[in-house]
Amino acid sequence: MLNRTLLQTRKGPTGAKLGVPKPLEELSEDEIRRKHCIARLMTHTLKQLTKIFTDDGFDWVLPVIFSQSTDPLWPDPCASIEKRLEVEIYGKTVRTTTSMIVHKMIACSLVSPKLFILSPNVRIEKSERAITGIHAYEFTQFDFEIRYATSRKVRGLVEHFIQQLIGSLKVCMKDELVYLGRCESLRVPQTPFKVYDRTELEQEYGRDWESQVIMENLDPVWVTNIPREFYDFEDFESGQWDNYDLYLPTYGEVLSGARREVEYCKIASKMKRDNVRKENYTLLLKLAGDGRMKPSAGAGIGIERLVSWTAGVEHIGETQLFPKIPGTVYDL
């Protein structure tokens, strides 16, 4: 049964109070039509992204649901995980996928020079994140990785597909965007996107730099040099991180990516520093120790967040036919 515990609400982009999305069976006819418009945008987005990447020679890899190795989500300051799901299978403890970062690094090194995955992610967020409008405890990530790529190359690829996607939506999905009241305000962004360094933003705006960035820019922007997990490349001498997040105007972060660490000594040292359990990453460490990990770079973009922004919805749960909102369990 649906847990109908009252949750605190906040003001959404339109100024209305933001609450937990209703399940399908409680929607009115107008709300069902709105839901279908969002579903049409979702379909077009998936069609465009997969076409752009397959046309560019990327291999489409199937997702992994259970694994001994998955993203530790630590020490990422944005992580807010309440619990991690583990189950025993054939005498081994496996975990639900929080992201396929380890898998795609290994697959990119050993098999596919360019690959992408539509990866289901399970992250049991703290209940208070229900009211942010951008968090779900189950979502899909468009994950991709490119062997020997630079950060600049990845950012250029992302800028291209964002620009292509928005242009295509405004032509092919005009009726849906009009119904959602988003046709005029959704603009095709200019490229290249602006690039900000996180340390400079903190010096100028303090800890609230994220809200300043998304409100002051009309186009998506990059934020680089963000302290994060062991797999993002870090220059120990300068303290700089070769990674990047994409922020959408009036919305927030939608993509995280980086150049990857491949040297055993650096990976092991960072795991020790960050209290990450090495036994959960045995194969990655062995391949790195044997020199079989190849340099790569990539990113993961939240599909529901991307569609939330293009559709102009107030809560990410509106993009899911069966919402997965922190603190709320529906019948389906």
Mean pLDDT of the chain: 93
Per-residue pLDDT tens over the stretch 245-284: 999 999 999 999 999 999 999 999 999 999 999 999 999 9
The pLDDT value recorded for residue 18 is: 59
Helix (H, G, I), strand (E, B) or coil at 120: strand
Residue 257 in contact with residue 244, Cβ under 8 Å? yes
Q: Give residue 77's pLDDT band: very low, low, confident or very high (50, 70, 90).
A: low
Residue 151 in contact with residue 298, Cβ under 8 Å? no
Per-residue pLDDT tens over the stretch 1-33: 222 222 233 344 434 445 789 999 999 999 999
What are the structural domain ranges in the chain?
A: 18-319
Question: Looking up tokens 């967020």, which residue turns up?
Answer: 125
Tell me which H or E stretch contains 118: strand 114-122
The pLDDT value recorded for residue 151 is: 98
Question: Looking up tokens 């000594």, which residue turns up?
Answer: 265
Q: Give residue 95's pLDDT band: very low, low, confident or very high (50, 70, 90).
A: very high
Q: How many CB atoms lie within 10 A of CB 33?
A: 12
pLDDT at 110 over 90: yes
Architecture of domain 18-319: 2-Layer Sandwich (3.30)
Q: What distances in angstroms separate CA 260 from CA 68, 127, 154, 293, one per listed residue?
A: 20, 32, 12, 10
Which of 160, 164, 173 has its CA nearest to residue 44? 173
Tell me if the pTM is above 0.85.
yes
User: With 0-12 CB in 10 A as exposed, 13-18 as middle and 19+ as buried, what is 106?
Assistant: buried
- Give the integer Cα–Cα distance in Å for 170 and 79: 34
